[in-house]
A and B are shown apart, each in its own frame.
Chain A
């Protein structure tokens, strides 16, 4: 079955630092890719998505992600983080060999803490 790896479990940055969170998945084929964010006390929200086309996708709040098919990766980036970006970030994959169209596979999440 599909699996998703997020290698950074906890990232601590100062405001204005650049951010890159890694995400790799195990099975190729046609995949749809997502990053979700969970702010403290709130529910999961969609940050950005990739279905097809330009592998560099832009989401809300200045976040972007790059799909590199050959590396099975979909890393999340932001050039300059803010204190308000403190949250947990989840990478998720839809599809891939042996998977149905509805089953999202999530990584275990990365807790980002930004110090003001």
Chain B
């Protein structure tokens, strides 16, 4: 079946602009996760949803970052007033339920100039 998909695959934006990154999980997966990966590092947790609600948002670095999952399927990660330090690969994953193995999408490469 179809895996996790993320759009766009690449996003270049100017410092100070607003961006939205989209994630489509595997059909039927109730849990959805966002991670951020910088070069030479492992993915770092940002937030995860069980259904429509954020079960753990403790990884969001500051209040410029926000994520939603209004219908319990697609999720959008929103970054306001982007900074050059936000440049990274943003990964989305989903799982059948939380506590189970997570399946990752291809990521969105965000570059802030």
Contacts and interface: CB of A to CB of B under 8 A. Distances in A.
Interface of A: 4, 32, 34, 36, 42-46, 49, 90, 92, 94-95, 100-109
A105 B56 CA distance: 14
Nearest to B95: A102
B56 A44 contact: no
6 contacts: A46-B102, A102-B31, A103-B45, A104-B33, A104-B43, A108-B42
Contact of B42 (A43, A95, A107): A107
Interface of B: 31, 33, 35, 40-45, 48, 50, 55-56, 58-59, 91, 93, 95, 98-99, 101-107
Contact of B59 (A45, A90, A103): A103
Given A43-B107, A44-B104, A101 B99 contact: yes
Contact of B48 (A34, A42, A90, A103): A103
A100 B56 contact: yes
B56 A102 contact: yes
Contacts of A104: 33, 35, 43, 45, 93, 102
